[in-house]
Structure 1
Amino acid sequence: MAVLTAERTEEQWLARLIKAHDADLPQLRRMDSFYEGTQPLAYMAPELQRELEETVRQVVINWPRLVVDSLEERLDVEGFRFPDQPESDAELWRIWQANDLDEQSQQGHLDAMVMGRAYVVIGTRDGDATTPLVTVESALDMYAEHDPRTRQIVAAIKRWSEEDERTTIEHATLYLPNSTSWWLKEKGVWIEDPAHPRDDHDLGEVMIEVLANRPRLKCPNGISELADIIPLSDAACKIATDMMVSAEYHATPRRVAFGFGEEDFVDESGRKVSAFSRIIGRMWATEKNRKTGGDGDGADVIQFPEAQLTNFHSTLNLLGSLVASIAGLPPHYVGHSSDNPASADGIRSAESRHIKRAERRQRGNGGTWERVNRKVLRLVTGVWDPRARSLETIWRDASTPTEAQSADAAVKKFTAKIIPLRQTREDLRYTQAQIQRMEEMDREAANDAMARVMAGDMSALEAGWKRPPDDDGEDDDAEQLEGAAA
């Protein structure tokens, strides 16, 4: 990494970032192959692999996908809010929905855990100045460099190619603090793309943010969640493949036949049977006499006992336990069970470390989405809003309590006046849209009750509907209803 310097030209940045990205691509593709289950078979001699290539196919136990998906399933963004407002910000959520970030954010979280990072690009949208364009990009297509002093992104690049029947055209977008430019490669040289005029926005910041998984002080681009799981996954795939080979050749009782010729292995029509039919599931018979010794013309068959596969089962169970321990997964996630099923409390206790890992991801990814929204607001309003520095990401609860437990705890806190009604509904895991509909229903019911009281119907005071408190913390409807009753 290096500090952005005025001496470095755009062409130099382009070459530098492409070189760094090319160096990362082999490892990124390797991690991606493990998540997709397309990795090559490990722990097998190359000579044996070549010999068995046509007859043996790898058995993939895709623990890497299990580890990533089980965490990603607990990372759901539900809104954003400023510190001075109790509800989520409607405008930021509108922009979020307009960019399909419900879906794209999940893909970004997943790619970040698989490859260590994903990227979020913020830009303007043609024809709609009030709705910036926000996209989530794969690390296979993008690379960003950080300033070691400020840890801010100083330059980034996005690459893609277009192919036709005769040639391949390489494209790149270069993101710098005050400009965004589009490039294409002609005759081995990068030139600015005449079809895309450059954008000299002069914002002073690169309009890119990184969704980094487990970033460290010296590794701001993050570390793959699969780094510790891949060796165990390789071992499990090797053992499972060996088990299937053993099942093919050793689990069925083996026979040795003496005194048989090819003419003896025929069906009732006189046609030769396959080698597999000779091994499994067919009766062997011959008219030759049983050989009793000497030079007789008899035949004899000896059967060996079948091989047991329990040694493979034990090894796979051991590897599964190690994966669960390293990844913080509950044992039942990797198929471990006992004769006595775990209680609900036992299951929740087993999930506690897994939930904490999900909450850590929420904190890190939440910071990225808050920085994204600060840049979104800058494009919408034209100024850097200081309030946006205190923006908060609202996440769905990463734990899995029962509905009855959640309701009981939330109601008790609300009854004791520890938390307000809106927080109670958030604790019950209602979405921000559902909460807003409930509050609208509360207001309609309160207005209806007030109208009935003003008409002389005092029974409306017993309805129990109240509007949520205003910014002053007082329930104005309750005050008005009490005044009307008086």
Structure 2
Amino acid sequence: MERTEEQWLTHLIRCHDKELPELRKLNSYYEGTQPLSYMAPELQQELQETVRQVVINWPRLVVDSIEERLDVEGFRFPDEPSADEELWRIWQANDMDEQSQQGHLDGLVMGRAYVVIGTRADDAKTPLITVESPLDMYAEFDPQTRKVRAAVKRWSEESPDGKVDHASLKLENATSWWLKEKGVWVEDPEHARDDHELGEVMVEVLANRPRLKCPNGVSELADVIPLSDAACKIATDMMVSAEYHATPRRVAFGFGEEDFVDANGRKVSAFSRIIGRMWATEKNRKEDGADVIQFNEASLSNFHETLKQLATLVASISGMPPYFLGHATDNPASADGIRSAETRLVKRSERRQRGNGGTWERVNRKVLRIRDGEWNPEARALETIWRDASTPTIAQVADAAVKKHQAGIVPLRQTREDLGYTQAQIHRMEEQDEQTAQDAMQRIMSGDLAALEAGPKPPAELILPEAAAPEPVPVS
């Protein structure tokens, strides 16, 4: 049965509300504000004013190690050797250098982020692109086409009468705006409906590791959170031990609880059930008297070894090199060893590039549809240009790129892309190459060979072959 717009709105909001607790939990682990796990409530109550939780934020390290390798450099049509300048102009006009980074980050942390495409009232040739957090937005997929069939974005605003809840409902042929009045959603009279009749929802999903039965993606932290909880618990226990055991421990014989009072005669917590500063026992004072002895301080090395083992497990699961987690060795790794250790991390990053690249290509198809008023069939073969996810040295990259170009395997533009130059930099280089070639040709035509020798040289492939000298005519 076909849902009405109001039914779609309430359905999507209800689904979003179910996911919000888990999304907020994942976000707290990235921010390092998660609650302490694996500790008895009685112990937390005893220590709450003495020792704070020690947060070892491995979740942020795992996410940032991948996100730092996801940089979009441009978009290219199949028959064009360089990036499309118009698509890059629209990308830059929407601050997508920054927004795309934030979308990749939220996708890795919470499993997904959303990209919304719309129009601008002041510039019809520059469609509007925004990236939205899954804490504010939810989308539902069509089970047959696996495309987004409905989405909702929610936000709140303060007004003189209190907080007002707003929502934007995005369907295949229309976008409408709503607000809540007296607990009921009604259409917002200040925003006109947009009946675009495009046949597609102007929303795309940046999903992390989507699966056939889970198109919304999975958080990159799913496997790391239990180990992070354990590390935070061990580190906190280490601080507790430093407070109570790393200094010499005392035992008092022949003292009663009434003997432990402060300057005002009030009892102090000398008989802690779990951890105490002093152990004491009451005996017959007439026969045994009182005595105080001192134990040696405890070593914290057992905590260090446990943390190292947990770090090794995190490195194994996340694909990060052990030295990312502070696991150093006596012998420093060679350059080849470092590259070998990063192989899994690089491959994981390239997988994220492939998945996110498909999303950005679909976004640009819808951008072109809004700009041109019709679907561009060539945009189905768009390619996202990514920066190299690996970290080779500059000398190694330059040596390999130049050798491939000299052997005629790749053209000059591809060589410059392999060297890591941006599309804007390559465009300026090509303009300079063209100007240099024109100047050289003009000097040749004018016969100014001396100036040609002293001036800048054009690229090798632009130099014309020397004309063969005419053979002498034999004189009879």
Identify whether the pair has TM-score above 0.5, normalized to the shorter chain: yes
1:60 corresponds to: 55
1:289 corresponds to: none
Q: Distance in 2 between matches of 1:260 and 1:191?
A: 73
Which shows bigger deviation, 222-231 or 437-446?
A: 437-446
Is residue 197 of structure 1 aligned with residue 186 of structure 2? no
Match of 1:434 among 409, 414, 425: 425
Instruction: Please report how far the alpha carbon of residue 126 of structure 1 lies from its aligned counterpart in structure 2 after TM superposition.
Output: 1.6
Q: Distance in 1 between matches of 2:468 and 2:182?
A: 83
For the residue of structure 2 that corresponds to 1:448, the secondary structure is: helix
Q: CA 1:442 to 1:50, structure 2 compared with 1: closer, same or farther past 3 Å?
A: same
Matches within 5 A, 1:7-22: 7-22=2-17
Q: Which segments of 5 or more consecutive residues in structure 1 lack a partner in the other structure? A: 276-293, 469-474
For the residue of structure 2 that corresponds to 1:336, the secondary structure is: coil
- CA offsets 1:395-425 (integer angstroms, 9 cap, x no match): 0000000011001100100000000000001
Matches within 5 A, 1:103-118: 103-118=98-113
1:418 corresponds to: 409
Matches within 5 A, 1:319-468: 319-458=310-449, 460=452, 465-466=457-458
2:78 corresponds to: 83
Q: CA 1:301 to 1:342, structure 2 compared with 1: closer, same or farther past 3 Å?
A: same
Letter of the structure 1 residue corresponding to residue 301 of structure 2:
T
Percent identical across equivalent pairs? 73
CA contact (8 A) 2:209 2:218 kept: yes
Match of 1:29 among 24, 48, 56: 24
1:316 corresponds to: 307
For the residue of structure 2 that corresponds to 1:399, the secondary structure is: coil
Instruction: Please report how far the alpha carbon of residue 485 of structure 1 lies from its aligned counterpart in structure 2 after TM superposition.
Output: 10
Letter of the structure 2 residue corresponding to residue 106 of structure 1:
Q
Q: Distance in 1 between matches of 2:171 and 2:102?
A: 25
Q: CA 1:467 to 1:208, structure 2 compared with 1: closer, same or farther past 3 Å?
A: farther
Instruction: Please report how far the alpha carbon of residue 167 of structure 1 lies from its aligned counterpart in structure 2 after TM superposition.
Output: 2.1
Instruction: Please report how far the alpha carbon of residue 150 of structure 1 lies from its aligned counterpart in structure 2 after TM superposition.
Output: 0.5
Instruction: Please report how far the alpha carbon of residue 48 of structure 1 lies from its aligned counterpart in structure 2 after TM superposition.
Output: 2.4
CA contact (8 A) 1:80 1:89 kept: yes
Q: CA 1:188 to 1:403, structure 2 compared with 1: closer, same or farther past 3 Å?
A: same
1:242 corresponds to: 237
Q: Distance in 2 between matches of 1:409 and 1:121?
A: 40
1:279 corresponds to: none
Letter of the structure 1 residue corresponding to residue 323 of structure 2:
H
Q: Distance in 2 between matches of 1:296 and 1:450?
A: 114
- CA offsets 1:24-63 (integer angstroms, 9 cap, x no match): 1011001000000011100112232233222221100000
Letter of the structure 1 residue corresponding to residue 129 of structure 2:
V
Q: Distance in 2 between matches of 1:47 and 1:255?
A: 23
1:286 corresponds to: none
Q: Distance in 2 between matches of 1:112 and 1:424?
A: 32
For the residue of structure 2 that corresponds to 1:130, the secondary structure is: coil
- CA offsets 1:88-115 (integer angstroms, 9 cap, x no match): 1111001100100000000000000000
For the residue of structure 2 that corresponds to 1:125, the secondary structure is: coil
Letter of the structure 1 residue corresponding to residue 390 of structure 2:
S
Matches within 5 A, 1:107-186: 107-164=102-159, 166-186=161-181
For the residue of structure 1 that corresponds to 2:299, the secondary structure is: coil
- CA offsets 1:149-189 (integer angstroms, 9 cap, x no match): 11011000000111346522110000001000000011111
CA contact (8 A) 1:123 1:134 kept: yes
Matches within 5 A, 1:180-329: 180-256=175-251, 301-329=292-320
1:288 corresponds to: none
2:282 corresponds to: none
CA contact (8 A) 2:106 2:113 kept: yes
CA contact (8 A) 1:439 1:467 kept: no
Instruction: Please report how far the alpha carbon of residue 461 of structure 1 lies from its aligned counterpart in structure 2 after TM superposition.
Output: 7.0
Letter of the structure 1 residue corresponding to residue 326 of structure 2:
G
Q: Distance in 1 between matches of 2:195 and 2:16?
A: 24
Q: CA 1:370 to 1:335, structure 2 compared with 1: closer, same or farther past 3 Å?
A: same
RMSD (Å), alpha carbons: 2.8
2:66 corresponds to: 71
For the residue of structure 1 that corresponds to 2:88, the secondary structure is: helix
CA contact (8 A) 2:436 2:456 kept: no
Count of residue pairs brought into register by the alignment: 450
Instruction: Please report how far the alpha carbon of residue 253 of structure 1 lies from its aligned counterpart in structure 2 after TM superposition.
Output: 1.3
Q: CA 1:467 to 1:376, structure 2 compared with 1: closer, same or farther past 3 Å?
A: farther
TM-score normalised by structure 1 residue count: 0.87
Letter of the structure 1 residue corresponding to residue 358 of structure 2:
G
CA contact (8 A) 1:14 1:174 kept: yes
Q: Distance in 1 between matches of 2:456 and 2:414?
A: 19
Letter of the structure 1 residue corresponding to residue 12 of structure 2:
L
Q: Distance in 1 between matches of 2:194 and 2:148?
A: 18
Q: Which segments of 5 or more consecutive residues in structure 2 lack a partner in the other structure? A: 269-284, 471-476
Q: CA 1:41 to 1:450, structure 2 compared with 1: closer, same or farther past 3 Å?
A: same
Letter of the structure 2 residue corresponding to residue 317 of structure 1:
K
